[in-house]
């Protein structure tokens, strides 16, 4: 399943689309230049399918998570409108649930049992972030944001149980969504929109590549 053996076309497409989207985001975050944004996660999904060997099962939870993320990316092109923001959050909830299920299948619970403190830290961080940012959110957004962010940190906790690239990708994903939370709460940082997308894209790439590498390792068996 190694990329060098199975072809790089979809991954090259993902890289090109990512560069174009980051450039467009830096210029006009909601302009027509971001028309390629809905194609980002399908390109990663195509990479996943391209890496599958003949007769090998597709990692369904990974593909499902990427599909939900594609729906969320599309909705959040209009995130200045509250219904689109909530729709995007709902779609990404599907991503977090899918990834959490997939990481559990990769042995996350055993990893957490060996080293529980990173998972505890995720939950503590969730509580602190919601306590600090929650009062600044619109009242009708507080419950959806708290619920989504709980699913997000649960995903991160299970990713830390897997370790490696998967864990690093989850941390990048969480950092990106934290910046979105800051924006929703009226807190601004320099180059916020670009940082959001960069963290998200890097996170999704690391999660996907790390997941595939873990499947490769398992397929190869004991050294």
pLDDT, tens digit (0-9, with 9 covering 90-100), for 11-24: 999 999 999 999 99
Per-residue pLDDT tens digits for 23-74 = 999 988 777 788 999 999 999 999 999 887 655 788 999 999 999 999 999 9
Question: Is the pLDDT at 1 greater than 50, yes or no?
Answer: no
Helices (H), the chain: 3-6, 9-27, 40-51, 60-75, 82-105, 108-114, 117-133, 139-162, 164-184, 192-220
* Residue pair 149/181 in contact by the 8 Å Cβ criterion: yes
Contact call for residues 185 and 133 (beta carbons, < 8 A): yes
Query: Mean pLDDT in the chain?
Result: 92
Reading the block at residue 168, the tokens are 């690093």
| Residue-level pLDDT at 21 | 96
Q: What is the pLDDT of residues 94-128, one digit of tens each?
A: 999 999 999 999 999 999 999 999 999 999 999 99
């Amino acid at each position: 399943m190694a990329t060098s053996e199975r072809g790089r076309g979809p991954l090259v497409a993902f890289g090109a689309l990512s560069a174009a989207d980051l450039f467009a985001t830096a210029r006009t975050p909601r302009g027509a230049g971001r028309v390629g944004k809905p194609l980002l996660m399908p390109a990663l999904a195509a990479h996943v399918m391209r890496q599958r060997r003949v007769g090998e099962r597709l990692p369904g939870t990974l593909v499902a998570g990427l599909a939900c993320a594609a729906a969320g990316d599309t909705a959040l092109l209009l995130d200045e409108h509250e219904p689109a923001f909530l729709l995007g959050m709902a779609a990404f909830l599907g991503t977090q649930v899918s990834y959490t299920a997939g990481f559990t299948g990769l042995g996350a619970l055993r990893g957490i049992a060996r080293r529980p403190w990173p998972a505890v830290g995720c939950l503590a961080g969730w509580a602190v972030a919601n306590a600090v940012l929650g009062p600044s959110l619109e009242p009708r957004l507080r419950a959806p944001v708290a619920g989504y962010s709980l699913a997000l940190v649960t995903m991160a906790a299970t990713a830390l149980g897997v370790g490696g690239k998967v864990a690093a990708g989850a941390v990048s994903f969480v950092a990106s969504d934290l910046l979105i939370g800051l924006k929703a709460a009226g807190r601004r940082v320099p180059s916020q929109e670009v940082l959001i997308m960069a963290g998200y894209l890097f996170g999704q790439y690391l999660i996907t590549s790390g997941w595939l590498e873990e499947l490769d390792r398992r397929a190869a068996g004991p050294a």
